[in-house]
């Protein structure tokens, strides 16, 4: 069974530029999550989708971050414009629909904002 | 609000020695608890989880964890550490809606 796929793996941009990350969850997983992991910290949930609807985006900085999950499968996370403090690893995870099911994580995208 | 505390930022153990990583949580209801491991440049891999029932949980790679409600703890243990166990370990509590709240992590170093 293929795992969660993410691309790109690394990205370096200048502040005020825009960037987009892509995630393809495990086949059949209805729930998709985006986490931000700043160096030295644990992952923090940015947004959670159930199929193509948003369940929780309370910690998403909506003035600069956006995410979509069209057709309820793969997802993109965008930052526009990027700030220095957005430098982090962005992790995508997916799980089955059942409450408290295990979340499976992708390898992450490491973003450096200069 | 739910929170997780991992008191040790770094831990160094000798290969073959026993290991215990500490985790304390704060959550108003019965918690769902997880331990994940992250190797450099990799995503997080689930080691074990506790939902209910037996408070001693067995996981992969020889790890186990014990849920102690009275101490609000969910410590991870392994009787004999291997060099390949060197990684960062994260404790997490599952909140409403399957949201995970993670601790800051503990970096494990294994010396030969």
User: What's the rounded Cα separation, in Å, for the pair B91 and B36?
Assistant: 6
Residues of A in contact with B102 (CB under 8 A): 42-44
Instruction: Report which DSSP code applies to B11.
Output: E
Q: Per-residue confidence of chain B (112 residues) as pLDDT tens digits?
A: 789 999 999 999 999 999 999 999 998 777 889 999 999 878 899 999 998 888 999 999 999 999 999 999 999 999 999 999 999 999 999 866 667 899 999 999 999 8
Q: Which of A6, A76, A33, A8 is nearest to B92 (CA)?
A: A33
Average pLDDT along chain A, 114 residues, taken 10 residues at a time: 91 97 94 94 93 91 94 94 97 82 91 97
Q: Do residues B37 and B88 lie in contact, with contact meaning Cβ atoms separated by under 8 Å?
A: yes
Are A42 and B98 inside 8 Å of each other by CB? no
- Block residue for tokens 């795992």: A3
- Count of C-beta atoms within a 10 Å radius of residue B82: 12
Q: Residue A88: is it exposed, middle or buried by C-beta count within 10 angstroms (0-12/13-18/19+)?
A: buried
pLDDT value at residue A1: 64
Q: Do residues B35 and B59 lie in contact, with contact meaning Cβ atoms separated by under 8 Å?
A: yes
Residues of A in contact with B105 (CB under 8 A): 40-42
Are B97 and A107 inside 8 Å of each other by CB? no
pLDDT value at residue B51: 86
Q: Which of A40, A100, A104 sits opposite B94 (nearest CB)?
A: A100
Q: Which of B14, B76, B2, B82 is nearest to B46 (CA)?
A: B76
Q: Which residue of B has its CA nearest to A35?
A: B100
Q: Which residue of B has its CA nearest to A48?
A: B99
Are B102 and A42 inside 8 Å of each other by CB? yes
pLDDT value at residue A72: 83
User: What's the rounded Cα separation, in Å, for the pair B41 and A108?
Assistant: 8
Distances, alpha carbon B13 to alpha carbons B10, B22, B88, B97, B107, in Å = 10, 14, 14, 37, 11
Distances, alpha carbon A12 to alpha carbons A9, A15, A112, in Å = 11, 10, 5
Q: Which of B87, B41, B40, B93 is nearest to B61 (CA)?
A: B87
Structure tokens at A92: 């995508």
Contacts with B84 (C-beta within 8 Å, 6 or more apart), sequence order: none
Report helix, strand or coil for B27.
coil
């Amino acid at each position: 069974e293929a795992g969660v796929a993410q691309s790109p793996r690394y990205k370096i941009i200048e502040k005020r530029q825009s960037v987009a990350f892509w995630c393809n969850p495990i086949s059949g997983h209805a729930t998709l999550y985006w986490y931000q992991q700043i160096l030295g910290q644990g992952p923090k949930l940015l947004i959670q989708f159930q199929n193509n609807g948003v369940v929780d985006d309370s910690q998403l900085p909506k003035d600069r971050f956006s995410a979509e999950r069209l057709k309820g499968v793969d997802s993109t996370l965008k930052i526009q414009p990027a700030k220095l403090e957005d430098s982090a690893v962005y992790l995508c995870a997916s799980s089955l629909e059942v409450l408290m099911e295990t979340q499976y994580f992708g390898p992450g995208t490491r973003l450096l904002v200069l | 609000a739910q929170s997780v505390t991992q008191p040790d930022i770094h831990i160094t153990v000798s290969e073959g020695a026993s290991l215990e990583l500490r985790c304390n949580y704060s959550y108003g209801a019965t918690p769902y608890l997880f331990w994940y491991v992250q190797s450099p440049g990799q995503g997080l891999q689930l080691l074990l989880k506790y939902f209910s029932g037996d408070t001693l949980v067995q996981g992969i790679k020889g790890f186990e964890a014990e849920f102690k409600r009275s101490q609000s703890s969910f410590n991870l243990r392994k009787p004999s550490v291997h060099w390949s166990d060197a990684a960062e370990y994260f404790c997490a509590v599952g909140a409403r809606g399957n949201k995970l709240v993670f601790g800051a992590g503990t970096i494990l170093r294994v010396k030969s």
